[in-house]
Structure 1
Amino acid sequence: MSDAPIIRVEHLDKTYQTVAGPFPVLKDVNLGVAQGEFIAIMGPSGSGKSTFMNVLGCLDRPTRGVFALDGRTIGGLPKDELARLRNRTIGFVFQGFNLLPRMSLADNVALPLVYAAVAQDERRQRARAMLARVGLGQYAQSLPSQISGGEQQRVAIARALVNQPRLILADEPTGNLDSKTGGEIMMLFEELHREGITIVLVTHDPGVAAHALRLVRFLDGRIVEDQRTERAETA
């Protein structure tokens, strides 16, 4: 694991303007994430963890403070440059899978490569390789409706990996899965972490968080806990 931070957050605030006035969601958040870390973010509903993940994913901008991704300070980047940095650096995994229902699994996995202007033949080859990587190579031409929820999440992980990102952001990746299938997905995340990919995931499940090596807990828009997990102590 490199000591160079892939994520650097300093004194970050996020405030939304509402009809009732300013509504602060994140308050003076500070966090550094080194390349190769595996972090779980927890906290009750409304604690700010989802907003924080949106900021980390360059889907929302902070109101104040510093956010640097892979050495680039995000604040002043134009939208098109920000989109390129996001597509090159981050792979996203969502609770609801977010697969396009009328596209084959291979075409779903290849979508980030379309946005990156990768040639069609290479897109097809890399998408099939990623599906094989998650154990679904034989289903490349199937539709999402033809496979199980756990398999759909594997496809979503393949899509997150296809652009060879340095960072995976996962929002409740096991939330729609039964415990056995969720455990299999977390074993896949552990394997990806061993390969050197940085993983930051949001979860409400302590059992899922236990797979990470570091736990960050939010409450009322602030980080109130940041510590190594039991797995980190025995690793």
Structure 2
Amino acid sequence: MKRLIKTATAILLVSSLTAPSAFAKNDNAKESLVALGDSIPFGFNLGQNNQNPANTSYPYLIGEDADLRVRNLGFSGWQSAQLLDALETDQKYRQAIDHSDYVAVTIGSNDLLAILRAAAAESGGNQALFQQLLQQKLATSNVFSNIAETIAEIRSLTDAPIVLYNVYNPFQLNDPLHYLADAVLPQINSGFTALAFANTNVYVADAYSAFGNNQAAYVIQGDIHPTNAGQEMLADIGLDALGLD
């Protein structure tokens, strides 16, 4: 009798493991958003400390509005090469993307800020020289090729919709860099638009237009990171780009 009970139990266990429903996604489970990038999705300087992503950062706001589970993998200070490397080599990132229903990517600002500041410093205030240096540095930068490879790597893991954020002007109106940035960001941001057009199911969230010249409201004073209001704006344009609003 004991042997019969054990045999019946074993058969039931094998049947439950091999049934199609054993590996199917729970119909009642929430869909998920995975956020990748730098200190912007991380929500730098908005939490009590900067050890963990701020719960007021835009990925969590999107999750709250669209009823999504959120995995925030933003990492402060990252440039495009670091995100690409993580997606290629780190199983935490790869598995998160593999299980995602939506992906948000915010990367490139640190690459571009470094280029902008270097060109401004080397030009010594000469606008013509600044433009020349900027174009040279952008031409030799790998930022857009890195982002293109990042999108390709995401696509190798999931066909989920991707929202790609472009670059807002992080400088206050009283900062001379504000006007230097405004002169070049439309051209730079056209690169993000081109990447979206070149890929399927990739949509641009236009942070540049959304922030406009409202840095006083959307960018932390003495900083370059979004305020809570700025994060709310990023969430709004992300929801719109993904058709979740």
Scaled by the length of structure 2, the TM-score of the pair is 0.32
- Taking CA–CA contacts closer than 8 Å with sequence separation of 6 or more, which of the two structures ends up with the larger relative contact order? 1
* Between structures 1 and 2, the one with greater strand share: 1
Scaled by the length of structure 1, the TM-score of the pair is 0.33
* Between structures 1 and 2, the one with greater helix share: 2
Rg (Cα) greater in structure: 2
